[in-house]
Amino acid sequence: MGEPMRERADGPVGLGIVGLGVISRQYLDTLAGHPGVRVAAVTDLDGSRARAVAAELPGARVAADLDALVADDDVDVVLDLTTPAVHAHVAKACAAAGVDRYGEKPLAVDLASSREVMAAAAAAGTRVGCAPDTVLGTGVQTARAAVEQGRVGTPTAAVATWVSPGHEAWHPHPDFYYAAGGGPLLDMGPYYLTSLVQILGPVAWVQGAASRSRDERTIATGPRAGERVPVEVATHVTGVLGHTSGALSTVTVSFDAAGSHARPIEVHGTDGSLVVPDPNTFDGDVERCRRGARSWEVLPPSAGFEAAGRGVGLLEMVGAAGLGDAPASPRAGGDVGLHVMEVMSGLLGSADDGRRAAMTTTPALPPLVPLTPAAVWHGGR
């Protein structure tokens, strides 16, 4: 049983950050200086990196380790930017200390540990937020609004595609992308699957297939260029999702392709089709083709956080994004993260045994994000 939920003082929400790697800069661009949050402490396995980041943030201190970070009385919520293999450990430490946790995707390295994360938080009375919050931007939210308004009729299908040659082409330390918790499905899949859940609703069943093209990858950049890393996971995954709404989605994610002309996500209905922009970004054009038409029209943004950046989901979770007080269930919440993890686990399990996998989680969809100008969610900055 965790510690009782901490009482929070008035004023900005105290933020502790664990893990200060490549993605941390994007979060800091959003969160540093926001009037609703204050970075109180940071920690990283690389102490020099932690000290360098703390020096940029007025009043931030360096915590010796995770235990010190979650024990800090000024930390109300922890932003977990560690690698997937560590997510469950960090989340459980947060629950035990009575602090909320918002983390990078996936929720944990596998379904069992993801369930443990949610159970620990429920027992402690703490909240769990989980990326991607890109789905809260104007791209996916405008597409969701269009579907909910009946602008494609009854949704029948969707196609989601993301392919690349692999992250070893650009990342100096790509090892974790090819270890348990990595691969194109657990790395990039959450953007596409969370978007499909937002637009078409939860998934009832999945059928998957997967392959691995080689057992090693060669790092192409940085101090380890030329070094080979082992591949332990599937590097090409494809499958069909049966949504509770009756719509069918076809998904392909791959580290085994040179490139693609495919649109990131297309949604089809009885009266029209939508093109949804890259769900790894917050905005972009949503296009609609009406049934019988030969051209596409761009739909103006009608929902979502405008000009958003990574971290807006955390701001919404703590009530600092201009939408009112902190919600009981965050829009970028752990319940959706758990469902997406079950979908991914189901696809991989189905690929192994050839059977359709039924889902046991059915999260309630979070409310649509109203069209929220940057000046509002940014706190007037």
Mean pLDDT of 279-284: 98
pLDDT tens per residue, range 304-329: 999 999 999 999 999 999 999 999 99
Asked if residue 143 lies in contact with residue 278, where contact means CB atoms within 8 angstroms, the answer is no
Residue 188, classed as helix, strand or coil, is: helix
> What percentage of the chain reaches a pLDDT higher than 70?
97
Structure tokens at 257: 């392709």
Res. 208: pLDDT tops 80: yes
Is a pLDDT exceeding 80 seen at residue 253?
yes
Question: Chain centroid to CA 275: how far?
Answer: 20
- For residue 6, pLDDT beyond 60: no
pLDDT tens sequence across 228-247: 999 999 999 999 999 999 99
CATH for 134-303+331-358, among 3.30.360.10, 3.40.50.2000, 3.40.630.30, 2.40.50.840?
3.30.360.10
* Segment 5-25 mean pLDDT: 84
First to last CA, the chain: 40
**Given the DSSP bridges, would you call strands 100-103 and 77-80 parallel, antiparallel or unpaired?**
parallel
CA distance 250 to 208: 10
Instruction: Count the Cβ atoms, other than its own, within 10 Å of residue 372.
Output: 23
DSSP secondary structure of 216-236: EEE--SSTTTT-EEE--S-SE
d(C-alpha 320, C-alpha 70), whole Å: 21
Nearest to 245, CA basis, from 265, 269, 279, 263: 269
Burial class (CB in 10 A: 0-12, 13-18, 19+), 170: middle
Per-residue pLDDT reduced to its tens digit, 34-67: 999 999 999 999 999 999 999 999 999 999 999 9
98-122 as b/e: b if 16+ CB within 10 A? bbbbbbbbbbbbbbebbbbbbebbe
Q: In what order do the strands lie in the sheet with 61-62?
A: 61-62, 37-43, 13-18, 77-80, 100-103, 128-130
**Can you tell me the mean pLDDT for 129-150?**
98
Predicted pLDDT at 4: 53
Q: Which helix (H) or strand (E) holds 69?
A: helix 66-71
For residue 167, what are the contacts with CB-CB under 8 A and spacing of at least 6? 174, 177, 187, 255
Task: At 299, give phi and psi (nearest 5°).
Answer: -85, 130
| For residue 140, pLDDT beyond 70 | yes
Q: Is it the case that residue 5 has pLDDT exceeding 60? A: no
Ranges of H-type helices in 301-372 = 312-317, 334-353
Which CATH code is given to the segment(s) 13-130? 3.40.50.720
Q: Give the model's confidence band at 181: pLDDT under 50 very low, under 70 low, under 90 confident, else very high.
A: confident
Give the residue extent of every domain in the chain. 13-130, 134-303+331-358
Mean pLDDT of 140-169: 97
pLDDT of amino acid 1 = 43
User: What's the rounded Cα separation, in Å, for the pair 357 and 236?
Assistant: 19
